[in-house]
Every structure is written in structure tokens, then in C-alpha cells.
Chains A and B, each alone.
Chain A
Amino acid sequence: MIQYKEGEFKEFIIKPNNSLSWKGNKIFFFILFFVSFVIAFSFAMAGMWLILPFAGLEMILLGSALTFCYIKNSQCEIVKIDEKNVSVSLIKSRNKKVFGCRKYWAKFILNKPRLKGYPHKLVLRSAGREMEIGALLTDEERIKLAGMLKKNVEQ
């Protein structure tokens, strides 16, 4: 998904596809939590309490797995282009890494895939170094993003 903003500088926010929202994940988790604990508590009431800790451990595992997926899918890349500079921020969880270069030397290159079925690869190249952008996108979106970035950096 690409969000484009234009103000003092041009900003492209790139996010991966996430088919379930955090709210959706929470609803799913609480449904399973409810079912699992109704079962475990019912048996505990009948004296079979050892089912409870296993249900608890499983819910911890399920909750962690869903949280991990959400965090993994909530990463994003922000490309900012102003008159002189190009910067790319990689945001993963609470970590933020920013890379920058002069607009004059910046070049966005879309590499074609070597094998059928593989995606294109978009890189930002400057002064002999390069970094990948838009790995989170669909191939069609990446091609579109490449066109938009090239157009903006060449202006």
C-alpha cells in the first residue's frame, strides 16, 4: 500500500499488505480465549484443574504469535524527497532507521526479475551504494512506486 503526501516535501508511505487489523486479531484471540477458558474452567470446577495451566500456556503462545505477526506487518518505509535530499526511514516496531543522500546523486532503479514468477526489485542507488525499497509491496505497486519516485527525483 502506498500513501502519497505533498507539502514542503514529497512523502511516500509504504506499508505491507495486512489482511487482518489489530482489532480483528484481538477479536479472534478473545473468542478463542473465551472458548478455551470456558472448557478449562468447566473441567476445573469438576476437579480436573490441570487442564487450566495448559490452556493458559497455549493462549500465551497464541497471543504472542498474533502479536508478532501484527508487529511484523506493521513495519513501514517512508521516502521523503525535498529540493536537495532524499531520505528513507525504515520503521520496524519501535525502531527507526533513517538513510539519506543528496537528490542529485540519487537514482531509483527497478531491477527486472531473473526468473519467471519472481518480483521486480526497486533500489535506491547513490555513490556506489544501494538499498532496497518497497519489498513490502505487491509487484504492481512496486512498479508504480518506481515510476513515481523516478519522476520526483528527476524534477
Chain B
Amino acid sequence: MSSVVKDEHHDEHPSGIMRWITTTNHKDIGTLYLWFAMIMFFIGGLMALVIRSELFQPGLQFVDPQFFNSMTTMHALVMIFGVVMPAFTGLANWMIPIMVGGPDMALPRMNNWSFWIMPFAFSMLLSTLFMDGGAPAGGWTLYPPLSLQTGDAFPFLIFAIHFMGLSSIMGAINIVATILNMRAPGMTLMKMPLFVWTWLITAFLLIAVMPVLAGGVTMLLTDKFFGTSFFNAAGGGDPVMFQHIFWFFGHPEVYILILPSFGVVSAIIPTFARKPLFGYASMVYATASIAFLSFIVWAHHMFTVGMPLAGEVFFMFATMLIAVPTGVKVFNWVTTMWKGAMTFETPMLFAIGFIVMFTIGGFSGLMLAITPADFQYHDTYFVVAHFHYVLVPGSIFAIMAACYYWLPKWTGNMYSETLGKTHFWLSTIFVNLTFFPMHFVGLAGMPRRIPDYSLQFADYNMIASIGAFGFGFAQLIFLYLIIKTIKGGTKATDQVWEGAEGLEWTLSSPPPYHSFNTPPVIK
């Protein structure tokens, strides 16, 4: 024999900081993504509190308008690209290989790269706060010509977005390759957990639209520094074209932020209702339909730019169509709970909170879809209320639900149910206190992205600010709970939850460093 294979101990890995820098293990990388998202959540949250402090009462109190606009812009960029997307990628890293019965992600080294690009991208983005001319202040949508007036921060902003996009694309390709190629024998596509399905479709969306964002921001860069006129009307360009480009990326991006939430909720509700998910196949088709429709509704973000009537009618009806597959999903979740042996542990509370409050956000979205009504709502706080209802009690609640649901599996310890429920109720009360009044001030005509406002909006803004601070402080409970659970607690069983089904619950809690070195057979 010409070669000897050493007996490798699969549980061995580097320790200390090098473990995290060099790791190619999907669980380690998932953990890194989740902690990164947590840190960015508090940074983005602090920015939100600066905004709400300034808006606590009319007049200018704490910051100048330029810095206020920087805060709104940076808060959005941080929360979208630094919190929700990495958190879902972290969940995907942790759970998808386990759920499909694979040993790891398909491309582990690329996985390491796709995470470690993120801290550089966000260091670059946050460093703009200290640059001449301040951080970007033209809104996360980067509309020219306003965004081209950004100071020294501009190229850093563009390159930070490129890096975030690169990281997302690498992550998406890895997830697609894993789901397609690493499934255990017997794990057919229609046997995959809904979380895996929603991520497969999300990855598809990411791959389809990220080049559009990359191209769009690069054209902004060349317009500013290389004399091109893609969006410069004086040079024959069209600034409205940027809006088309941006929202062609931006609307699918909205679904990139919400589809994995659907997967999380679809995993949690059957567990605590102790019933199989109602209408699995219809959930898959509904998710695919939402993804398809997300490509043909982008112009509902720009009804007021002056489109032809036919265009406005088309985009209005296409947008309203999204309510159909979304309604199928909400119906299926409610029907799963119907006559189930329900218990209300923290993940279930967050999942139910998600359904109720995401539906409120969905309905206000339907209102915004109606073109003539949108002419009134456009650029008001009603829009702010709408997308925050979709993203905070929607995406963020789903991420929290997922953390509570899988935390005992990840750490091997049960979390404190009392603290978890306290976190849920405080979050729910304060999130509504923050964002519900925004509907009223928006309908009354308060414009978004302003540091000062008319006196008639004062009361609701004060309530919203109190809600925001309450919500922020409630998240410290979440942080404390996670650290406490990692450090110890009652030992979790392998199945953790009585009604839990799926491959992840067949592994020990915490799972071995390398799970499913060989794929299990799915019956």
C-alpha cells in the first residue's frame, strides 16, 4: 500500500480567534453571521434612537438636519444589509445543511469568504460617519442627483455596497449549491422543510437582482468621477432610470428580507400546534409566485414620477396580485393552528405576533398599491409605518422566533421562558407603540425624512419615540438571555420541543461539530 490515511478526529478544530477566522464549518460561520447581525442590530438601533430623539418634539433639538438625514440613510443600510440579510444567512448556514442531511455547505471555503467580507464592508460604510461631508444622507435608495452630492463618503458607500452584494451573492450561490447537491438520499425537493424552500427561492432572487444593484451603483460612481451621463439629464441621461434600476433590485430585495421569515414561521407553527403544516405544496407554490411577482411590481415605488396611465394600472394590479399568494400563506398558518394542541412558548408567541403584525403591514401595503391613493400617501409616514410593520414585527420577529426555536439545539441549553416571554410582550407592545401612530401622522400628511415637523403631529411622534426607546431597551433582555443560555442552563433534550419534526431534531443538542458526515436516509 502506497499511502496511509491517518485516523482523523472529526471533532478537532483550531481554538481561540483562529477558529473563527479560518473556520469553514457551517455552524461556526452561522454563529458568526448571527453575532454580526446582533452587533449591527444594536448599531442600527442606536441610529434609530437618534432619529426618534430628534423627532420626540417639533423643532431641532439634538442634531443638525444633515446628520439626521445621514442617520435615516445609514439606519436603513445597516438594518437591511447588516442585520436582516446576515441574520437569515446565519440561520441558513446553521440549519440548511442539517435540514437537508448534508455534512456542511457545498463550498465551505467560499462560505468563510462570504462572511469575512461583511465586517470590512460595514467598517467601510460606518467609517463614512467620520468623513468630510458626513455620511451618506440621500436615503438608502441613493437617488441621483441628490446622492451624487455626497462628500468624501461617496466612493466608500459604493464600494461598501459592492462588498455587501458580493457577500450576498457568494452566500446565495453556496446555499443554492448546497440545497441542490447535498440533499440526503430520499430528500426530494417536495420533502424539504419550508425554510429550505424559502431560502432556495430567496437565493434565486438574490442571484437574479444583485447584478442590477451592482451595475446601478457603479453607474452612479462613473457619473460622479468619470464624466459619464447615465443619470445626468444635462448630459442626455435619465435620473428616473436610476429609480427603475434601483427598484428592479429593491422590490425583490423586500422579498429577500421576508421569504425566509415565512420559512421560519412555517417551521415553528406546526411544532407548537402539534399538527403538520396545512397545505405544504401550496406554500411552496405561493412562495414561488411571490418571487415571480416581485419582478413585475417595482414601479409601485415610483407612481408619482409621472408614468403613463397604462403603466400605473399594470403595476397597481400586479402589486395587488401579491396579496393572493400571501393570503394563501396566512390562511395555511391559521389553518395549521386550527384545532391544534397549541402551547405558547416564546418561539410560538413570536410566530403568532409575526402573522398578526405582518398582516397589518400587508394590508397597508395593499392601500399603497392603489395608485390614486398612493399619490396621497407617497413619501409620508404612512409608508414608514407600512415597511416597518413588514420588517420589524415581520422579519425581525421571525429572526427572534428562529433564535428562540433553535437556541436550545445550538447551545444544548434551554433558555429562560420567563425572560423570553417578557421580551416578546415588551417588544410587541413597544413595536406597536412606535409604528402604529405613524399611520395616523402619515395619513395626516407628515412627510418622511424630516428632522422637524408641524405642531399637529407632536403627540403621535412623542408616543412613537417612547415606543422606540422601550423597544430598544427590550432588546437588551434578548441579548442577556442569549448570553445566559450560551453559558448554561437546563440541558435541552435532542428533540427539544415535543412536536418538533425534522432532521435537525435527530441530532444531539448541541449537534456534533460535523453533523451528518454521512447523509441520513429520508423515508
Contacts and interface: CB of A to CB of B under 8 A. Distances in A.
Interface stretch (B49-57, B207-215, B425-433, B469-477): B207-215
Interface in B142-183: 169-170, 173-174, 176-177, 180-183
B376 to A, nearest CB: 30
Contact of B519 (A17, A55, A62, A100): A17
Contacts of A115: 11, 512
B2 A138 contact: no
A58 interface: yes
Given A19-B181, A99-B3, A62 B520 contact: no
B487 interface: no
A138 B11 contact: no
Given A50-B215, A66-B177, 11 more contacts: A19-B100, A28-B180, A46-B241, A50-B230, A51-B211, A69-B177, A101-B1, A111-B7, A116-B508, A117-B507, A138-B521
Contacts of A19: 100, 180-185, 187
Nearest to A141: B518
Interface stretch (B17-25, B216-224, B260-268, B330-338): B216-224
A36 B211 contact: yes
Contacts, number: 148
Interface string A15-34: 00111100011001000100
20 contacts: A18-B181, A19-B180, A32-B208, A36-B211, A40-B211, A48-B241, A50-B218, A50-B222, A58-B169, A58-B210, A58-B211, A61-B173, A62-B176, A65-B107, A69-B106, A70-B181, A72-B106, A118-B514, A130-B5, A140-B521
Contacts of B321: none
Interface in A99-131: 99-101, 111, 114-119, 121, 123-124, 126-127, 129-131
Contact of A17 (B185, B230, B241): B185
A148 interface: no
A55 B211 contact: yes
A69 B7 contact: no
Interface of A: 17-20, 24-25, 28, 32, 35-36, 39-40, 43, 46-48, 50-55, 57-58, 61-62, 65-66, 68-70, 72-73, 97, 99-101, 111, 114-119, 121, 123-124, 126-127, 129-132, 135, 137-142
Contacts of B170: 61
Given A32-B207, A54-B214, A127 B1 contact: yes
Contacts of A68: 107
Contact of A62 (B100, B173, B181, B185): B173
Given A43-B212, A62-B207, A131 B4 contact: yes
A51 B212 contact: yes
B515 interface: yes
B110 interface: yes
A25 B170 CA distance: 17
A140 B177 CA distance: 25
Nearest to A47: B230
Contacts of A121: 7
A122 B211 CA distance: 46
Nearest to A44: B215
A54 B218 contact: yes
A29 B518 CA distance: 27
Contacts of B185: 17, 19, 138
Interface in B189-212: 204, 207-212
B141 interface: no
Interface residues of B, number: 54
B248 interface: yes
Contacts of A65: 106-107, 110, 173-174, 177
A151 B503 CA distance: 33
Nearest to A90: B3
Contacts of B210: 54, 58
A141 B521 CA distance: 10
A52 B215 contact: yes
B180 A39 contact: no
Given A24-B180, A65-B177, A69-B177, A39 B4 contact: no
A58 to B, nearest CB: 5
Given A43-B245, A140-B521, A97 B211 contact: no
B518 A137 contact: yes
Nearest to A136: B518
A130 B1 CA distance: 8
B160 to A, nearest CB: 16
Contacts of B245: 43, 48, 51
A126 B361 CA distance: 68
Interface in B251-272: none
Nearest to A35: B208
A51 B180 contact: no
Contacts of B521: 138, 140
